Amino acid sequence: MGTTTVPSTDVLTTRPVWLVSALAGLAAAIATELYGLAARTVGVAMEAGNIGASVSGPITIGMFAMGTAIAVFWGTILAVLLARYARRPARTYLWTTIALTAVSMAGPVLAGATAASTKLMLALAHILAAAIVIPIVTRRLSHAPGRVDRAL
């Protein structure tokens, strides 16, 4: 008696890691941009300075999406490399990206010449993007075979 394999219908398991990450990034970029527009609507100051700066500059429309796209670009490279070389790519990606998200909080928290409401809003934008991308890419990586060490 033979066995049959039923192909997976789960989109996350059938698409390349880079594509899943890019699509999750697109969703996160749209979400963070809408979040930024909503913050403008309720009157959050849209000016922030660099870390330790004494002057602030405008946060223009599109900056939330651009910042998200840049982070997702590097996160996609990380995900692809982990899918290829890590023993447990999903777990490694999850903990690495959580740590990187925590490190990314330094930007908003230490931004000079920036209102507290703006700092909070920017930190929440980081969390929003991470909350969209990390679970989706982690789920995709959970279906990656990971590296298997070969005995010599």
CA distance 4 to 83: 27
Q: Which of 31, 24, 32 is nearest to 137 (CA)?
A: 24
**CA torsion 98→22→40→46, rounded to 10°?**
70
Asked if pLDDT for residue 152 goes beyond 90, the answer is: no
Asked if pLDDT for residue 5 goes beyond 70, the answer is: no
pLDDT of residue 77: 98
Q: What is the pLDDT confidence band of residue 129, given thresholds at 50, 70 and 90?
A: very high
- Residue type at position 23: L
pLDDT of residue 8: 55
Asked if pLDDT for residue 32 goes beyond 50, the answer is: yes
Cβ-contact 141, 93 below 8 angstroms: yes
CA distance 134 to 123: 16
Here the tokens at position 136 are: 């989706």
pLDDT of residue 48: 96
pLDDT of residue 20: 97
Per cent of the chain over pLDDT 70 is: 91
The pTM assigned to this predicted structure is 0.89
φ and ψ at residue 48, rounded to 5 degrees? -145, 150
Mean pLDDT of 120-127: 98
Per cent of the chain over pLDDT 90 is: 84
pLDDT of residue 13: 79
Helices (H), 6-151: 11-14, 17-41, 63-85, 89-104, 106-110, 116-141
